[in-house]
Amino acid sequence: MTPFPFTKCMDPEQDYPQLENELLIVDRHFTKASPQHDHRRWEYSLALKALKAWTLHHLRIPTVLYDVGGAGSPFRYMTTSIKSAVVDPAEEGGQALADFVQSGVELADAVFCLSVLEHVEDFPQFLYLLSCLVAPGGLLFFTMDCWNKSGPDTAHFHWDRARIFTPASITNSVAFPLLQRDFEYYGARDFDYHGDHLYGSYTFASLSLVKRA
């Protein structure tokens, strides 16, 4: 069987049967089951599957986990990390990513950035700061809006209506700068576009990287 790819575009028909165990965890903490929120189930369950694979590979539970931009997200309750933190100024007592990094925090075994990149203004700096949080050998996992069209984002209100990704721009704008900073892809990759699943006009994608030890 082909390994389940952790870098991919959303394909509910193929993905959900392979994410069944993770969906059981997600659905205990996430109750918005309407069709327009179904992609949240996909991104959370895929993130959990990537974390489980990392855990099995290292034969240990991650001790530090950060959820960047996760204010209000139920994802923190789905993990079994001993020490976790939400990095978001909107979180109660939370900090901006730059302030969090500069405070000299402990490096993380896993950093998740779910549905955040669409809303970032200083994109290169944001990726750089994320890279600073990951310990050698650690996992860096993203999800983001994605479509297979060209031109500005007319599907959704993101930063200046221009920040929506394509499979190519995920590779070139997100993955490539991190590959230049001691990261490599984690797991298999599948960037075939499997149709529009969000509001009938675009879909979701994931990107999974690990920092070289």
Environment class of residue 140 by beta-carbon count within 10 Å: exposed (0-12), middle (13-18) or buried (19+)? buried
Residue 1 lies in a domain: no
* pTM listed for this prediction: 0.94
Domain membership of residue 2 (yes or no) is: no
State how many domains the chain has. Answer: 1
Q: Work out the burial of residue 38: count CB atoms within 10 Å of its CB; fewer than 13 is exposed, 13-18 middle, 19 or more buried.
A: middle
Write out the H or E segment, with its range, that includes residue 114.
strand 108-114
pLDDT in tens, 15-40: 999 999 999 999 998 876 555 578 89
pLDDT band at 1, cuts 50/70/90? very low
CATH number of the CATH domain containing 157:
3.40.50
Q: Domain span at residue 154? A: 7-211
Condensed to tens digits (0 to 9), the pLDDT of residues 60-114 reads: 989 999 999 999 899 989 997 778 899 999 998 889 999 999 999 999 999 999 9
Q: CB of 146 within 8 A of CB of 203?
A: yes
Report the pLDDT value the prediction gives residue 45, as an integer from 0 to 100.
96
Over residues 131-175, the pLDDT tens digits come to: 999 999 999 999 998 988 876 556 555 545 457 788 999 999 999
Do 48 and 79 form a contact (C-beta atoms < 8 A)? yes
Which residue stretches of 59-174 are H helix?
A: 97-102, 123-133, 167-169
Work out whether the CA dihedral 64, 128, 123, 126 comes out positive or negative.
Answer: positive
Residue 64 lies in a domain: yes
Asked if the structure places residue 206 within a domain, the reply is yes
